[in-house]
Structure 1
Amino acid sequence: MLDIDGLSVRRGTRQVLTDLNLSVSAGEFVAIVGNNGAGKTTLLRTISGLLPHHRGRVSVLGHDPARARPDQIAQAGLGHVPEGRRVFASLSVLDNLTVGATTLSRRQRKDTMERVLSLFPRLQERAAQRAGTLSGGEQQMLAIGRALMARPRILMLDEPSLGLAPIITRNTFKHLRTVQQEWDVAILLAEQRTRILTEIADRTLLLSSGRLEPEQQVPRTAGASAS
């Protein structure tokens, strides 16, 4: 699904990622934790093809981001929920979700919409409401739902807990565990908070100064009990 070998990325004169190795298997939930400025956003944007890298190899669902356009990588099955959610504030909840399904047939769109609204009943209740009037937690649900509308095989999320209360963060992570298990989607999540993730993710990795520290293996039963 995702294979990174010796990745190095510069932003201007600053070395952000250095000789980074990472793999994510089908249906796996991998969390990358690290402080602000550790390189988490840079890593996810590089995987999506939004940022170039100067050394190393990246393979995303058979595509090299250095040679494929971001939309081609997305169509191959990569979903990306950016930091700050970035919903379309002036559009309704329903229209935001529909934007994520542009490559689906009418029947696929209908079926996927039903699954998303079943996962997030609050979005069903707010279907006609403008996204900009939603609470932070509701906007995060919408951002995740919009990404799921494209039926991704890998879902990446950048700081989904940003600005959310702990209880809402926990519920969001539990929803992601449900997506992993019931939608058969691999998840790569970048976060600063660590305690909740060690209960839910299959593996947690520490990103520090542009390098990944030795991984922590989390027993499958621990994640399953949290869902």
Structure 2
Amino acid sequence: MREVVLDTETTGIDPREGHRIIEIGCVELLDRRLTGRHYHVYINPEREVEEGAIAVHGITNEFLVDKPRFADVVDDFMAFIRGARLVIHNAAFDVGFIDSELDRLKGNHGRIAGHCSVLDTLQMARERHPGQRNSLDALCKRYGVDNSQRDLHGALLDAEILADVYLLLTGGQTALSLAGQGGEGADGNQVSAIQRLPAGRPALAVIRASQSEMDAHQMRLEALAKAAGSHRWPE
């Protein structure tokens, strides 16, 4: 399967308010392996970048003055992603912006749904880690992905980091050697042999949470769920 991990940076948070794409970064996966192929471009949005957006990605109006317009790069961009499954963190944000840009071209290219399927890693992470932070930085910490270079958001860097997170998020043990011998999983990685514990080992003590601890835990989960539903700049 061909997949393209994609990220964008923008002039602001809502394309319905006229905000535009200023950077696109993509990396290619083929059968869950990075191929080394990527697509990256900065784009002149033909409007001002908001100060709040500059604080997130550091891309200034002056830097974008001599960059191509979206209409100038759309053919190369669509050729790179066409037919792939797009892997995007908070896909509604990026797809909404791309579709908005495509709409400005008067329907010559249609919309993303006509060319690609989309997998949202934010939705996937929320299902696997309910009640926890699932920003890209939080997932890097959880899965041990190095994001030390991510002082600011950047489309290509974020796509590269997301590719690593995605492979770990959807990976894990894929086979089990019941004969007690090591073997290879479906992804080609070595699977360790089963390690059996001594039958006469001491029983482990079970310490159960008190009612007050369970109540406090429930309150914390409800607070996290409420915070996760608030409107914030995508992470």
TM-score (norm 2): 0.22
- Larger relative CO (CA 8 A, sep 6+): 1 or 2? 1
Which structure would you say has the larger Rg?
A: 2
TM-score (norm 1): 0.22
Greater share of residues in strand: 1
